[in-house]
Structure 1
Amino acid sequence: MLVIRDLGEIVVERGTDRCDPGGAKPRTILALLCAHAGHPVPAAALITEVWGPDAPERTQRALESQIWRLRKVLSPQGEASVITTDRAGYRLDLTAVTVDSTEFESAASAVLDRSRTHTVDDLEDVLSRWRGEPFTTASSTPTLDQARRRLHAVRAALLTRRADLLLARGDVDRALDEAQALIARDPLDEHAWSVKISALAAGGQRAEALTAYRDIRELLATKLGVDPGAEVLAAQRVVLHEHSRAVRRVRLPSQHTSFVGRDSELDEVIRLLTAVRAVAIVGIPGVGKTRLAIEAARRAADFVDDVVWYIVRRDGTDLATTILETMRIQPSADTTTAIDQVCSHLSTMSALLVLDGRHVVSAVENEECRYDVSDQPNPEDHNAIDTILERCAAVTVLAVGAPSGVDGEQVMSLHPLSIEGPADALPPAQRLLVDRIRSATGQFDVSPDDRADLDRICRAMGGLPLGVELAAARCATYALAEVADQLGTEVPEPVTRAFELAVAAMDDELFDRFLRLTALRNPFTPAIARAVCGPSIADDLEEFTRRSLLWPIRGNRYRPKRFTILRTVADHAHAGHPGRAEAGLAARDAAIIELLTATPMAVTAHSARDLARVDDDHSTVMAFLESIVTDPALLDSHIDLLERLGAYWYFRQRLADGIRVLRMASAAVAGGACGPRTAAMVELALGSALAFSQLTDDAHRHLTSHPRGTRGAHRSRRPGPEHACRPPRPGVAGGVDR
């Protein structure tokens, strides 16, 4: 029988004799017939593959000539031709010829069938048929390239199955070699990585197995932006859980209260601890960084084989020495420096080190409160942590307060607890307050009347967990309403101290820009922040976010990214520096005036886009308007600007806001301190807004409240491009009929 060996160089054998198919074209035709072995290949397809899509018409005869030569070569003694012709095209007759690639795929399908038992020898028998790159001496065509990829995928499946069987029978060295070869072929082959991780662990190389897990995690994140799949995660869990828990030591401070209000943050920290080797939790003092870190370390302990240790960084002592003393590491004669001793001790361990920030301690009302002294990376700590991570493959570091600054560190900014929530559930800040009141008093059932007092307390503390817990402690002595009244006028000293440290952590220039930002009302855009604070504010916004003084709000296709500022810290900063805060208000007013002046209020093709800019900073715009309508002198100066907003309020469906501002302006002009023109324009604008809101009786009162002479004074003014709250009519440049 004729045998065509196409897994490698194309070779044709009949018994002991070899046949030469000829040049490139006949070899390519033969390869195409092998790729479709048993199935007809149309003549047009062969011509397109071999001669190209632009082949001339006479190529049909050239193809017939090449087929005739191939038949003569394959059947030199006049045997029946293995290339048959029918209506569909040319076909290799598999009853008269054996094709290696076809036999290879058929045998591979049998041994890869997991419903039947096969051995490593069975797989090796199939793999032995592979001699190299399929169809080597044929030209490259789309069909042959596709066939080559298919055959390579089959071989990879065989190699993967062989690696699995080798690992299952305990031949970890060969399994590791197989996995490494598969990874070299496809670095993103997650199954091969899972075999490598398992083989390393089975061979007693747990640290190397965890390093392999981190390698594939970083590779997937870099190349595809995804996390490892279930196979790799399962292999990592097996590595971690197979180790005896009898030797694991967990040294974390005991906590006597429940963990409340940080479920999503806790899940995120645990996820990071299982994915990366350096994590940092940062935020203002009193926000609960240490409590979160301890709880996350406690729950992540199942992923650590040897030690979980809480270490407080101390001023005046380098980090390596602090670790030595805290973990009671015995000095080694082979090492001289503290960092070498630490690395020597941890190099063969799977460990999680919780490095808390440097603290000062303040005792107030029988409460010991710890405050972070600095949230900036310390160069000495950075070098020590970088050395530990480099030399100890299975050590993870969770930094609290101050990030280490090492490459790849994931920094999580912790913000105060939310004081807002759905009507049918307590928001996180109130949940914490209720839990701590129960701990302090023994029992506390929330009644509907208590919700308002709980909200007052949480707002007074700005959602800061330290303040919420101190307020709860007072409830052991005072009633809930009394505590709410007290905190309305007196902030507990530890909370004040926390705010002072948050402010003190900023240098003078950074603090000045923060003060300017406090003039804005939440939420605000980077654009208005840039107008108030200058072009350098872009980096500062990220820094303030990292310090948890700002909360970012993710943007979308309709709105840019925005920020909200922590009002409790802002109010504290204002109280200590009232003069410097005035500069921020002046800059805010100038920025809003420029924004409103530059925004076209008439109907144009870009009206929605233009007015959306005002929408993005609507809260700050309203703060500015409220400040001018209560001051007669400012109202006289900016009455034209106020009038221009009529179209904005109408088109953006904010007439309620416009009516509120205009009512305030109407109250201001009622005292007679404003000029008659201002008074008439306010009443006309307010009446128009009320009319468009279908409050006709109220609108009529305002529209007829001034004598004819006063209205005439207004009417004689030069018409502007917009007017009052009436929308522009199509084809009319002004806002209303005059």
Structure 2
Amino acid sequence: MNVEYRVLGPLEVLRDGVPVPVPAGRGRVLLATLLLRPNQFVSVDELVERLWDGEPPTVDRAHKTLQMVVRRLRLALGDANCVRTTTGGYLAEVHPDRLDLALFRNLAAEGEFAGALAHWRGPVASNVDSPHLHREDVPPLVEERLVVHGRRIDADLARGRGAELVDELRELTREHPLREGFWAQLVQALHRAGRTQEALAAYEHIRDHLADELGVEPGQPLRELHERLLDPVSRADVPRQLPVPATHFAGRDAELARLTAAARGGAAVVITAIDGTAGIGKTALAVRWTHEVAERFPDGQLYADLRGFDPSAEPADPAEVLAGFLGAFGVSGGRVPVDLPERAALYRSVVADRRVLVLLDNARDVEQVRPLLPAGRGCLAVITSRNRFTGLVVREGAVPVTLDVLDDEDAVALLTARLGADRVTAEPDAVNDLVAFCGGLPLALAVAASRAAGDPGLTLRALVDELTTAGGPMTHVEAVFATSYRVLDDDTARLFRLSGLTTGPDISLDAATALDGRRRADVRRSLQALTRMHLTTEHTPGRYAFHDLLRAYSCSLEEHDPAAVRRLLEFYLHSVDSADRLLRRGRAEIELCPLSAEVQPVLFEDRAIAAAWCETEHENLLAAVRLASDHGLHQHAWQLATVMFGYLHLRQRPSERIELYHVALAAARASGDRYAEGVTLHSLGNAYSSLGAHSEASEAYAEALRVREEIDHLHGIAVTLDQWAINHALSGDLESAKALHERAVAKRREQGSPTGLATALNNYAMTLVALKDFETALAVNDEAHAAVVEAGMTELVASTLDTRGLLHLERGHLAEAVATFQRVLALPGSQLSYDVMAVTLENLATAHERAGRPEDAVAALKEALLIREELGNEAAAARLRARIAELS
């Protein structure tokens, strides 16, 4: 039986995932009070004070009533009961892995801030009616959450995600206007996104607000940040992506000297290609040296694992790597070109006047690397690969550094660094034999040393004997891995084997827990054991990666566990589905593949946290779709691609969507699921349309419509007709758009969906305005607006009013148009999306321009430009800049 207790949101008790009814009133107050102090004694007197909110009846009556409340609560909880009686009081006896509050605190202490925050589902104990509890217990928890939230944002800023944090930080500063930490982070995020003037304006705002409200100046950290912004040569806010260097490093003096000499060569771009066999220490050397010279590159240090030789995953796409690099410099997704050559050109332009260090690890070939090379004279690229990049040496003047195995002296130094001088000098012959057996290969030496370090009673001679015995038909490095693998406990060994089934670049603790199927705490202990044995690396807190050789060894152990693969896919599917529900509105429901009892997906209540999780898991999610397809889990494949829509749309990645939906479409067809085929064809059409490929979009929509009509999917038919109509309108074919809109409206009437009908009518009205059929457009818009108001669909009011303003504008009724657009802009934030706001501002500017008020038009366009830049829509931003220049 699996019991969970939740207080970070509505009070809940779950038994095997099923809610256990908790008595309302004093029963909930009692349970919440105890759970907020897990495993701590709470006196009867204090509980009485809580249950009667400071106004209890007589002492005797209160104590008797408390006993009744306890009995009733225990009876309701049944075998999920956690209330224990102690002398003079009670306590809630709960395991830390069963209470969301304890999980939150433990994860935060381990630096897993995003994972910690994911346990918050809303206001603490929101369904518990107790003024005393909400006055005394809840505020400190809210403060805890804010502190962790701030630390999570600090971590994201350190990863170069400033542009992505602006929306979240604006909301946080609105909610907490006197919290200087969030203001400092907003200033940093704006500056890193290239919006320094807005950053300075944000500082001025908080400074004035503090003066008005408290009569004080901002604290020293915020003042120092402001001073750095005023300094035009400030280099404080730059991407710093280099991995943490290895704790134990020995030798390589000649190679380090060669790298240092190459960096002083004075060429326009110095490229250092480090090649050598697997496990020879290329990455360790590159990371160590780049950290030593990082200060020479004050404008940023970029890192990418190109996965050129990963046995279970495709090499990294240079186009996707470029998108990440551009994002680190504040170039949002909408401004990133689709084509690889254009992305590479923009990247070179961004770094042209900067001094940037780029570490490209595990490169496959020259073609993968060339688009990622910086072009500035002050830049340096360091590349590691198993292959010799002769082409780079010849064409780009790369300086090759080929690694050999460690010599005996350096190998002994590495063992000494890991095991200590006493242990090494005590067995010189065994040390020599161990070095010889490992062949001077640093990875083999590191794993062998970890095996010895994990067992202080194991002599080095005994280890050598064990290795020699284990060798057999295996290579020596495999024998080293095998001896460490064989001392693992059964559960940890199984987790190591299961890792060979994954295809993403790394795995989180949550995902590993789903893959494994055991309790989270047990899986964490196994991952820590693998880390200690050097069989995996915790490259960031809570995220684990495997060296290519270790992944290949894991795969060779041939763990066939279809249930584990299914659990991993269920974790990603249900987690990203939770995120998608926050990242897009009005999505159609799909019946997801069922969730196994052992799988606990990440559930989100905060849009920014959901987006950040998707960003972190981005490559793993793409890999999961391919993994599902490869294992014949077709339902998982097409559903994963479908529920990733919100994130991919938010990050403006249409080309990636096209690739994914082709995989999803193949999976849908392989499964024979006609509903899925219609969904994926429609999604493919959306992706093509957003890319401007209107012909390809029309082909996908036509096929989607045919499939949906064959299965009589009424909602799907209406949606596809509507989106196909919009695609025609965007391509300029207004008559075809009109005919499709009429069919979409008819289907919506047949379906009986007020929201769908209002949306279809409003889209139809916009096309009618473009056709200058104003009378019909007015009638259609009237019906759409009336349906919206009657159904209470406040989120659609802005769209219908904006269309009404457009009608006035095109008819020449300029005063009415301005008044209508201003009415839209005055709507509450909950009713006005950024997209609609930007469109309305552009329309308002047009009305002002036609009325002979160019200054007002420019002011509206500048507001729209800020929004478009914030949303990352570079095409729209460029158009607005041109209009502003024309009118100024």
| TM-score normalised by L of structure 1 | 0.31
| TM-score normalised by L of structure 2 | 0.26
In terms of Rg, which structure is larger? 1
